[in-house]
Amino acid sequence: MINELKALIFDVDGTLADNEQDGHRVAFNLAFADAGLDWSWDRDTYAILLETFGGKERLLRYMEDCQPEFDPPGGRDRFIRELHQQKTNRYQELLKNGAIPLRPGVARLLKEARAAGLVLAVASTTTAVNVTTLLSKTLGEQSVSWFDVIACGDVVTKKKPAPDIFLFALEKLGLQASSCLAIEDSESGLASAMAAGLLTVVTVNESTRHQDFTGAAIVLDQLGEPDNGFRVLAGDAGGATLVDVGFLQRVHGRAR
Ligand code: XBP
Ligand code: MG
């Protein structure tokens, strides 16, 4: 079949784990304290900063918008690079301490998809080690090898909503967009996946629930577990309550 579903390409932050406010934000604040800065991002501030994808890009935006008088020691680019590295160190500690679990249905779907012979990939804006540590810590070290491609962070210069990270993942997979599905949690992530030609299933979280998901194949509140099904926020689930391989094949099949 020409348009058979062959691969799933997962976003990470907000999709595999609900980790922005209680993970990345916390790590940024710890890094600010480590650097002797009196900066602190509360939840509302971070919700606005999340419009900017990429941790280094987010730091730059904050410095330009909120700390215009600040003169970064050692120059702006180096300062951001080092501060972001410390944020990554702090985020790694949170991951290794088990502070960041997978969202409901993620482990189940990854295992089912693998068993069904679907190819798995990641297309994320975050730093690569954050993805591999999240997978290792929650699913075991071998789970990193379940993914044919883990496309992350700075391998492309234009981050989401640009399509580049999904196009990079597709090229590495050697697959057409029409035989893949993306799973995303945010408006910018959806825009990125759609611009790469990918049909996209959206699973929202509290940070993204209010966003515009026009163009998504379907919008759900989660992937769901057998005893805790998803709620449909937009689109037609055909009575299903669980994102499993059959569900994704039907969503993919009816769109192609
Ligand atoms: C979300 C992001 C990331 C994280 C922080 O990525 O924009 O920048 O917020 O990670 P996605 P870094 O949803 O595409 O996974 O600080 O490592 O950039
Ligand atoms: Mg995301």
- What value does the mean pLDDT of the chain take? 96
Q: What is the pLDDT of residue 1?
A: 43
pLDDT 10s digits, 191-223 = 999 999 999 999 999 999 999 999 999 999 999
Alpha helices in the chain (DSSP H): 25-34, 43-49, 55-66, 76-96, 106-115, 128-139, 164-173, 187-195, 245-255
Q: Which of 11, 24, 90, 103 to mutate to test the pocket of ligand 1 (most atoms within 8 A of CB)?
A: 24
pLDDT 10s digits, 108-135 = 999 999 999 999 999 999 999 999 999 9
**Residue 24 CB less than 6 A away from ligand 1:** yes
Give the span between the Cα atoms of 197 and 66, in whole angstroms. 36
Q: Tokens in use for 212?
A: 């515009």
- Could you list which residues have their CB under 5 Å from ion ligand 2? 11, 13-14, 185-186, 189
Q: Return the SS3 of 67.
A: coil
Q: Which of 30, 125, 135 to mutate to test the pocket of ligand 1 (most atoms within 8 A of CB)?
A: 125
Q: 113 alpha carbon to ligand 2 midpoint, in Å? A: 20
pLDDT 10s digits, 147-206 = 999 999 889 999 999 999 999 999 999 999 999 999 999 999 999 999 999 999 999 999
- Please say whether the beta carbons of 119 and 170 come within 8 A: no
- Whether 34 is catalytic is no
Q: 176 alpha carbon to ligand 2 midpoint, in Å? A: 22
Q: What is the pLDDT of residue 158?
A: 95
Query: What pTM, to 2 d.p., does this model score?
Result: 0.96
- Write down the catalytic residue from 13, 18, 164, 185: 13
Confidence class of residue 256 from pLDDT cuts 50, 70 and 90?
low
